[in-house]
């Protein structure tokens, strides 16, 4: 079953109805949404750039906030995960949020679930050395597994 969420795009509504948790998840009108097909660093995750640690999880969250600064997302639910989150493909201004996050290098293609849907965007980000690809990082799913 597909569910579509529509919201007004005024800045005041944005602040009231949307809370961004990290680079691949947010709460929209009380519903927790995880972006389908991508994985972003956890909020607490650190990465290395120029031999210096930096909070890449926080940077990833800020990137998602920036992409949604002017428009509320429109989301199509694919399924509900074991944590009760809606796994959804979302757009802002007609553009796929997952695609944009991977393309700017602040998330990676989560091939286990996407089956390579965002592999082109990831290859582009790697080639340009965008976001995470400017330094060293642990894949988010590995970082999570090692921290739990």
Contact of 68 with 62, CB cutoff 8 Å: no
- Please, is 42 exposed, middle or buried when counting C-beta atoms within 10 Å of its C-beta (0-12, 13-18, 19+)? buried
Domains, the chain: 4-139 (2.40.50.90)
Q: For 56-99, how does the pLDDT look when each residue is reduced to its tens digit (9 = 90+)?
A: 999 999 999 999 988 889 999 999 999 999 999 999 999 999 99
Q: For 104-144, how does the pLDDT look when each residue is reduced to its tens digit (9 = 90+)?
A: 999 999 999 999 999 999 999 999 999 999 999 999 999 99
Contact of 39 with 84, CB cutoff 8 Å: no
Phi then psi for residue 130, to 5 deg, are -95, 145
pTM: 0.88
Q: What is the pLDDT of residue 148?
A: 64
Specify the higher pLDDT residue, 38 or 69: 38
Write the DSSP symbol of residue 88.
E
Q: Which of 14, 95, 24 is nearest to 56 (CA)?
A: 24
Question: Is residue 42 helix, strand or coil?
Answer: coil
Q: Cβ neighbours of residue 32 under 8 Å, at least 6 residues apart? A: 21, 25, 26, 83, 84, 85, 86
Contact of 65 with 22, CB cutoff 8 Å: no
Write the DSSP symbol of residue 135.
S
Q: What is the pLDDT of residue 16?
A: 56
How many other CB atoms are found less than 10 A from the CB of residue 118?
25
**Mode of pairing for the β-strands spanning 31-35 and 86-92:** parallel
């Amino acid at each position: 079953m597909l569910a579509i969420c529509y919201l007004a795009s005024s800045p005041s509504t944005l602040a009231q109805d949307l809370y961004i948790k990290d680079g691949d998840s947010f709460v929209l009108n009380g519903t927790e949404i995880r972006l389908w097909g991508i994985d972003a660093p956890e909020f607490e995750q650190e990465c290395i750039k120029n031999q210096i640690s930096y909070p890449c999880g926080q940077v990833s969250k800020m990137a998602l906030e920036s992409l949604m600064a002017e428009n509320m997302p429109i989301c199509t639910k694919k399924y509900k995960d074991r944590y009760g989150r809606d796994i959804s493909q979302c757009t802002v201004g007609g553009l796929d949020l997952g695609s944009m996050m991977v393309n700017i290098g602040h998330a990676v293609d989560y091939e286990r679930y996407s089956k390579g849907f965002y592999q082109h965007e990831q290859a582009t980000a790697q080639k340009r050395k965008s976001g995470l690809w400017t330094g060293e990082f642990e894949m988010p799913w590995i970082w999570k597994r090692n921290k739990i």
